[in-house]
């Protein structure tokens, strides 16, 4: 059971969290976005071995945040709130 | 005469408290403090079980968790299969049975199987019984092989407790290393939790000689525990740390032995000290599995703790120094002892009474049902009724490996030791390869060195010190006779050789092919000999072969511990309506719908449900129906950017909605698929209520929050899920308005003030009510939302007033019929994970909207523009035909085969129309109204005609009637 640091509630069991996707997967707006770009946004994930920047949501407080963690060692490197803006 | 209880001694037993229990139906007498194994041994019960495959007679091997043979099924206070007799305290009245033996371990009727052993080597079932079909043989083979029996009829009367616990230092193992580490950590001002799987702390100090700080070792152990408890630290005996999980979460299984189920502990320590000791290995010689052949350390433990001498003519066979203390103890207890050491020299001194043969190994043991003698590798024969064996020590590094610790091979110790340190974990004592008490205490001091200065002095060994001399004695390829590696799974040297011949040389393949190291003991005594043999066969070194992966649990944990209270109704708790009890009194029959427990119909438990439902649906159209719609989502979106926000979230433009009005719309996923549908209410300029599907509230709420936080920012929008705060009572039907007028809600129901798709506010008994004129039935409807705790009087009032109008209570089933008559969809039922909004006939926003919304780009892909998409239609059947089956496929014929062209999504008998109605998703369906297609269900073909989804009141007059 991993411990994830919610920027609002502190360290909590991983079962309280949901994965929200890669951080930095910026949404292209518009009906004429090139299909490759849209496909990339919708479906293609980096799935790195090692350090990863991800969006997570702490279900108990409902807040989304960015967490950096190592997918190999499960070490949590950092976590920060979205800062009122995009998870760029 | 063989094993017996001595008249004196036994530190663990209380001779003033005799107890009796049964084993295979026979009474066994013992004392409080006995384990089942020690009591069986004291009663000279040599055969305690039958082996997994060959049904060989097996006796007690060990005295702890590593026990491969002495498994018993226990009934009585709790039924537990495959309990280790060596760790299970004997209690008055327990009923125990040997495993894999019928009718008893002594007289097992499948014992003949051993004579066929050569025909059923490792993995025989992969190669034999293939013709005509393995499944023909499988049931019998499975019945003959195996261990304990689960009592399928037994359920626990109580639930297991689960405890979450935090501490600075968790020390696993209360032997000399663990006790010292715990005491030193406590002296450094840290909160300590000390766990040990034995009932009495002390570990090896309970039976091995030693003197610490000038006192007998066992006294020092008791004093240390007492000091820890006095200082407020937690000491948990009878508790096994069974696994270390991610981020050093430790699972503990605490036993109680008083009828209570085991307790599961989830511990989050800052640091972990593993003082888990070491486990003694067997020696390889033919028939080394005969009853009467025990681990030397276990023989010593039974003697010192339980005053049980395992035999009269004892051969002690060893390759290391640790068995010398055992030989000395059993000779002093009165046994005739011969010590056989494979080494020629370099061993400790022994009393003259012990006959010593050096430089020799055992070649074989003999005896029919128990050991009667041994033959040495020079042909010398010795009589023996007991052989105490020490093949060296395997450090218990399981937990270290759970935490991804890597092992390092030590040639000097002939064992794997913990390698590079793991964050937050230290290993001390025998688990780290320490042998003498001085080394053990040094390793304990090192283990807590990182915790800062301690006020406690490091304990000092003041007595004789153990030595760790060993000469490895691994099983050798080509050995004569049947030499057992894994007792529990009946794996011999020949089986490992077979695996190697067939190229299963990887240690993981070896395990799976031969079952070496599987089952309840997980190879605690057999893994290392097995892989050392594989190394010998393949010309590799032991570390080159490596170990299999260690995974939790270290010892079996009852499933009930993991379940805890999450069983029965608490497994997946349903959400409940505020008016549930009122509905029950009205005869409601409840069902779970999307996590909510809701009235299916009001016909009562014994009623014909179909008739009740049809009756409700018909009467709802005739006058007026009352329906509890409290589960409907009520998520408020508030703030200056609220309009912009709902525009983005909805497929339909919502910002043009006027305050006080409602609009139906879709929410899409980013892949364009319809995610939810429902009515959006605009209460005022900056305040909306998202009325989403009942089962979708949590998901819609999460989606709104995600976009709010990730795209719009937290400041300009606030989202509040008010679903359970309010009850929503629906009044629907031609007489709905008349009924409401008699109730009086303090507002005008005039068409001008509250038209269809408008919202207004009134009061009832002093509470504000919100009335939305939206309809899921197609009839004039009012959804009245009121504080959930004040809903009951209003509901009672509506029912009372309804009597004058022949009002009917309708459940969800009738509502499903009413909405299907109108062609109203249920997301997830009439749509699937490919349905786009224009498949449902909603083309407008896709064609016209210029602003951005979720899923927009996906509506313009090649896939979304395909001209043969499945589209929502109604389906009618020829007169007199029964309703179509939901899920039946519309088919078309081509190239001699049938192809699906869509399927039926909803199908009912409409009591109002007096005929079946159905909805479906059919290829190009919107353009094919009037066309008759073939429908296939379970191989039968019928026909249906494609129609508009709405089968009733297509002009919508009844909304305003």
Q: What is the pLDDT of residues B694-730, one digit of tens each?
A: 989 999 999 999 999 989 988 889 999 999 999 999 9
Whether residues B246 and A14 touch (CB distance < 8 A) is answered with: yes
Q: Contact B98/B50 with Cβ under 8 angstroms?
A: yes
Task: Provide mean pLDDT across the span B133-162.
Answer: 81
Task: Specify the DSSP class assigned to residue B103.
Answer: B
Looking at chain A from residue 9 to 28, which residues have their Cβ under 8 Å from any Cβ of chain B? 14, 18, 20, 27-28
pLDDT above 70 covers a percentage of chain A that reads 94
| Residue B111: per-residue pLDDT | 82
Q: Is B566 on the interface with A (CB under 8 A)?
A: no
Q: Contact B38/B301 with Cβ under 8 angstroms?
A: no
Beta-carbon contacts of A1 under 8 Å, excluding residues fewer than 6 positions away, are: A13, A14, A15, B245, B246, B247, B249, B266
* Size of the A and B interface in Cβ pairs below 8 Å: 56
Looking at chain B from residue 688 to 707, which residues have their Cβ under 8 Å from any Cβ of chain A? 702, 705-706
Task: Provide mean pLDDT across the span B405-412.
Answer: 95
pTM of the model as a whole = 0.89
Run of H or E including B128: none
Quick one: which of B566, B520, B685 has its CA closest to B86?
Answer: B520
Rounded to the nearest angstrom, the minimum Cα separation between B574 and chain A is 19
Whether residues B858 and A42 touch (CB distance < 8 A) is answered with: yes
Beta bridge partners of B689: B636, B681
Q: Is B861 on the interface with A (CB under 8 A)?
A: yes
Does position B673 have pLDDT exceeding 90, yes or no? yes
| Residue A87: per-residue pLDDT | 43
Rounded-to-integer distance, Cα B243 and Cα B252, Å: 7
| Residue B234: per-residue pLDDT | 98
**So where are chain A's domains?**
3-25+35-81
Whether residues B715 and A84 touch (CB distance < 8 A) is answered with: yes
Task: Report residue B537 as tokens.
Answer: 């066969």
Does position B942 have pLDDT exceeding 50, yes or no? yes
Q: Is B112 on the interface with A (CB under 8 A)?
A: no
| Residue B116: per-residue pLDDT | 79
Whether residues B671 and A3 touch (CB distance < 8 A) is answered with: no
Task: Provide mean pLDDT across the span B18-28.
Answer: 96
| Chain B residues within 8 A of A20 when measuring between CB atoms | 706
Q: For A24, name the nearest residue in chain B, comparing CA atoms only.
A: B710
Q: Is A57 on the interface with B (CB under 8 A)?
A: yes
Rounded-to-integer distance, Cα B412 and Cα B365, Å: 29
Query: ipTM score here?
Result: 0.95
Beta bridge partners of B728: B785
* Residue B105's pLDDT band (cuts 50, 70, 90): confident
Whether residues B711 and A86 touch (CB distance < 8 A) is answered with: yes
Q: How much of chain B is helix, strand and coil, in % rounded to 5? A: 25, 30, 45
Task: Report residue B577 as tokens.
Answer: 């309506």
| Residue A84: per-residue pLDDT | 52
Residue with tokens 């599987």: B518
The beta-strand segments (E) located in B694-778 are 718-721, 726-732, 759-764, 767-772
Evaluate the CA torsion angle B921, B926, B927, B931 in order and state its sign. Answer: positive
Cα distances from B877 to residues B184, B404, B958, in angstroms, run 83, 64, 25
Higher pLDDT, B614 or B109: B614
Q: Is B852 on the interface with A (CB under 8 A)?
A: yes
Mean pLDDT of chain A: 91
Quick one: which of B21, B23, B81 has its CA closest to B48?
Answer: B23
Provide the CATH topology of domain A3-25+35-81: Folate-binding fold (3.30.2270)
Task: Provide mean pLDDT across the span B618-632.
Answer: 97
Mean pLDDT of chain B: 94
Rounded to the nearest angstrom, the minimum Cα separation between A29 and chain B is 7
Per DSSP, the residues of B15-52 read EEEEEEEEETTEEEEEEET-BHHHHHHHTT----EE-T
Task: Determine how many CB atoms are found less than 10 A away from the CB of residue B938.
Answer: 7
Q: Are strands B393-395 and B278-280 parallel, antiparallel or unpaired?
A: antiparallel
Whether residues B246 and A63 touch (CB distance < 8 A) is answered with: no
Backbone angles phi, psi at B9, to 5 degrees: 90, -170
Task: Determine how many CB atoms are found less than 10 A away from the CB of residue A52.
Answer: 17
| Residue B52: per-residue pLDDT | 86
Whether residues B247 and A2 touch (CB distance < 8 A) is answered with: yes
Question: Chain-centre distance of CA B677, in angstroms?
Answer: 36
Whether residues A3 and B247 touch (CB distance < 8 A) is answered with: yes
Instruction: Choose the mutation target among B718, B857, B864 for the interface with A, i.e. most A CBs under 10 Å.
Output: B857
Rounded-to-integer distance, Cα B309 and Cα B42, Å: 8
Rounded-to-integer distance, Cα B946 and Cα B930, Å: 5
Q: For B849, name the nearest residue in chain A, comparing CA atoms only.
A: A31
Question: What digits encode the pLDDT tens for the residues B29-47?
Answer: 999 999 999 999 999 999 9
Q: Which of A18, A33, A82 sits opposite B857 (nearest CB)?
A: A33
Whether residues A33 and B705 touch (CB distance < 8 A) is answered with: no
Q: Which of A2, A29, A30 sits opposite B246 (nearest CB)?
A: A2
Rounded-to-integer distance, Cα B224 and Cα B175, Å: 11
Task: Provide mean pLDDT across the span B226-251.
Answer: 97
Whether residues A3 and B860 touch (CB distance < 8 A) is answered with: no
Rounded-to-integer distance, Cα B31 and Cα B39, Å: 8
Residue with tokens 């390759």: B319
Beta bridge partners of B674: B668
């Amino acid at each position: 059971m991993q411990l994830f640091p919610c920027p609002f509630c502190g360290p909590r069991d991983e079962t309280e969290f949901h994965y929200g996707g890669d951080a930095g997967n910026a949404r292209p707006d518009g009906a004429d976005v090139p299909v490759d770009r849209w496909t990339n946004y919708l479906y293609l994930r980096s799935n790195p071995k090692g350090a990863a920047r991800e969006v997570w949501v702490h279900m108990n407080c409902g807040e989304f945040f960015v967490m950096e963690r190592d997918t190999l060692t499960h070490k949590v490197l950092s976590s920060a709130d979205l800062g009122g803006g995009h998870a760029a | 005469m063989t094993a017996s209880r001595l008249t004196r001694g036994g530190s663990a037993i209380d001779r003033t408290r005799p107890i009796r229990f049964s084993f295979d139906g026979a009474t066994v007498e013992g004392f409080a403090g006995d384990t089942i194994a020690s009591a069986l041994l004291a009663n000279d019960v040599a055969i305690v079980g039958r082996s997994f495959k060959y049904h060989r007679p097996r006796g007690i091997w060990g005295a702890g968790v590593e026990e491969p043979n002495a498994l018993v099924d226990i009934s009585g206070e709790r039924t537990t299969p495959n309990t280790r007799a060596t760790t299970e305290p004997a209690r008055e009245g327990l009923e125990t049975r040997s495993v894999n033996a019928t009718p008893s371990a002594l007289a097992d009727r499948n014992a003949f199987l051993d004579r066929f052993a050569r025909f059923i080597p490792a993995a025989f079932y992969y190669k034999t019984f293939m013709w005509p079909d393995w499944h023909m043989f499988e049931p019998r083979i499975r019945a003959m092989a195996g261990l304990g029996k689960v009592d399928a009829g037994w359920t626990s009367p109580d639930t297991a407790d689960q405890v979450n616990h935090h501490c600075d230092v968790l020390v696993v193992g209360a032997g000399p290393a663990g006790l010292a580490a715990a005491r030193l950590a406590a002296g450094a001002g840290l909160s300590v939790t000390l766990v040990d799987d034995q009932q009495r702390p002390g570990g090896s100090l309970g039976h091995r000689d030693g003197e610490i700080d000038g006192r007998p070792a066992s006294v020092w152990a008791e004093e240390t525990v007492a000091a820890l408890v006095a200082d407020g630290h937690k000491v948990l005996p009878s508790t096994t740390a069974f696994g270390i999980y991610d981020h050093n979460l430790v699972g503990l299984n605490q036993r109680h032995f008083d009828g209570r189920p085991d307790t599961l502990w989830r511990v989050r320590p800052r640091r972990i000290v593993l003082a888990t000791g070491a486990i003694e290995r067997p020696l390889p010689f033919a028939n080394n599995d005969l009853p009467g052949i025990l681990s030397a350390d276990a023989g010593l433990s039974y003697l010192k703790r339980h005053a049980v001498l395992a035999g009269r003519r004892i051969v002690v066979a060893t390759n290391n120094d640790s068995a010398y203390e055992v030989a000395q103890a059993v000779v002093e207890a009165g046994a005739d002892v011969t010590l056989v050491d494979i080494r020629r020299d370099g061993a400790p001194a022994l009393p003259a009474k012990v006959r010593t043969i050096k430089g020799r190994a055992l070649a074989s043991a003999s005896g029919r049902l128990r050991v009667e003698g041994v033959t040495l590798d020079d042909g010398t024969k010795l009589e023996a009724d007991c052989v105490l064996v020490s093949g060296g020590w395997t450090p218990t590094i399981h937990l270290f490996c759970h935490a991804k610790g890597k092992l390092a091979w030590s040639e000097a110790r002939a064992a794997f030791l913990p390698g590079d340190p793991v964050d937050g974990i230290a290993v001390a004592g025998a688990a780290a390869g320490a042998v003498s008490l001085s080394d053990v205490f040094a390793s304990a001091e090192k283990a807590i060195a990182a915790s800062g200065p301690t006020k406690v002095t490091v304990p000092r060994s003041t007595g004789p010190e153990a030595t760790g001399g060993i000469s490895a004695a691994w099983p050798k390829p080509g050995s004569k006779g049947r030499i057992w590696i894994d007792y529990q799974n009946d794996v011999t040297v020949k089986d490992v050789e077979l695996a190697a011949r067939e190229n299963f040389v990887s240690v993981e393949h070896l395990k799976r092919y031969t079952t070496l190291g599987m089952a309840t003991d997980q190879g605690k005594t057999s893994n290392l000999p097995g892989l050392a043999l594989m190394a010998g066969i393949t010309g590799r070194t032991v570390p080159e072969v490596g170990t299999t992966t260690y995974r939790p649990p270290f010892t079996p944990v009852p499933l009930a511990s993991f379940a805890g209270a999450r069983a029965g109704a608490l497994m997946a708790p349903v959400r409940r309506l505020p008016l549930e009890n009122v509905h029950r009194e009205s005869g409601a029959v409840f069902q779970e719908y999307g996590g909510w427990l809701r009235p299916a119909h009001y016909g009562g438990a014994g009623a014909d449900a179909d008739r009740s439902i049809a009756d409700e649906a018909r009467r709802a159209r005739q006058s007026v129906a009352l329906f509890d719609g409290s589960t409907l989502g009520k998520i408020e979106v508030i703030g200056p950017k609220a309009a912009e926000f709902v525009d983005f979230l909805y497929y339909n433009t919502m910002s043009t909605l006027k305050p006080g009005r409602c609009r139906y719309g879709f929410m899409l996923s980013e892949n364009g698929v319809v995610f939810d549908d429902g009515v959006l209410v605009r209460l005022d300029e900056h305040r909306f209520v998202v009325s989403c599907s009942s089962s979708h509230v949590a998901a819609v709420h999460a989606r709104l929050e995600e976009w709010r936080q990730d795209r719009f920012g937290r400041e300009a929008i606030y989202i509040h899920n008010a679903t359970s705060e309010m009850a929503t009572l629906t009044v629907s039907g031609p007489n709905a308005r008349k009924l409401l007028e008699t109730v009086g809600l303090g507002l005008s129901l005039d068409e001008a003030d509250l038209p269809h798709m408008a919202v207004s506010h009134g009061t009832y008994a002093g509470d504000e009510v919100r009335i939305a004129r939206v309809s899921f039935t197609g009839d004039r409807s009012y959804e009245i939302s009121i504080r959930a705790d004040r809903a009951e009087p209003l509901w009672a009032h509506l029912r009372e007033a309804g009597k004058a109008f022949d009002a009917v209570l309708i459940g969800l089933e009738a509502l499903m019929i009413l909405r299907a008559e109108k062609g109203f969809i249920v997301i997830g039922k009439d749509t699937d994970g490919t349905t786009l909004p224009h498949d449902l006939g909603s083309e407008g926003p896709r064609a016209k909207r210029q602003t951005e919304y979720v899923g927009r780009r996906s509506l313009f892909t090649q896939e979304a523009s395909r001209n043969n998409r499945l589209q929502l239609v109604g389906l009618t059947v020829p007169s007199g035909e029964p309703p179509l089956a939901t899920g039946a496929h519309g088919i078309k014929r081509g190239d001699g085969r049938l192809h699906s062209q869509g399927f039926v999504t909803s199908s009912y008998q409409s009591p109002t129309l007096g005929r079946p109605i159905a909805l479906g998703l059919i290829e190009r369906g919107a353009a094919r109204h009037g066309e008759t297609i073939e429908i296939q269900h379970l191989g039968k073909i019928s026909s249906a005609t494609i129609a508009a989804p709405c089968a009733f009141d297509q002009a919508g007059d009844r909304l305003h009637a």
